[in-house]
Structure 1
């Protein structure tokens, strides 16, 4: 009698690609992601590659969720997720998302000598921006002006001069960062313009 034996090769399928990736929370520097897996394997490790214009880095997670930290405001991120099981990586899935723009931290006012004007100065916020919305109000009067963008490189200070104001008048100023069709919470300050030149010249000391 002749016995024949045969063996079938061990077939191992790649881990299934994740699906349903969504951003459940995003701030200026953080992003929370959640996703789903078709086979529900518990031994998966998920590799996230986080890419932007400033570079890329990898974050690993053993859950179907991850919180990315240390991000840059107003920046577009491309996040690619690949599952791994038994040292075999599955197909890639990805999502793109902007972080929120950073608001102006604070600003100060400087009176213009003998002029009904005010100079506003502030540090350019981190990340990119498309400009600022400057709101001005005093009593029933108000005005909104769009300002150009600035870059935070080398600690750049942004300034703008507001003219055609009234002497000795209190004004409420608000500055809002604009970026990626989003607006930050406005930063506010109240400033008073200087007294008139005629008022000063009329005072004679003996």
Structure 2
């Protein structure tokens, strides 16, 4: 069994004093590809209750689109499936830091456990009291595509940010203090547009 960790940070306009509860569930659909690989696609729902600066409960909801490909040569006789183990949460810088731990079943076990960490930083407006919000879906298809492809990689870590209007590789590199050349390389020179996910090099 392998594990995967998804890190998600929610930022709000006003201070958050506590997180009462967070629940995660997915509705993945498993489909077999022509080459025998299995693709798991579907939404991952994150829902919970937080306490704002006025002591009132606020509900929040976040949806992540998942697209995970398990290559045929990595599969075992055990059915391929993804199960949510637990969700860690805590208040961090007027926002909520979430860590979702998932078990990946049906993949070849290597000497070391594979852990893929995806961190997304995105501003989310504070909802009105007791009104649920649903943020814009975040498409992680490209980032999840190669998680299990590299034979040598036993630990993969991604940090993603959301591109703003009129952003360029130069402006993003300056904002997050990374090398522009490495930033372009890791993102394969893809065209940038507002709301696009950009992988930051470490």
TM-score interval for Structure 1 and Structure 2 normalised by the shorter chain: under 0.3
Q: Which has the larger radius of gyration?
A: 1
Higher RCO (C-alpha 8 Å, min separation 6): 2
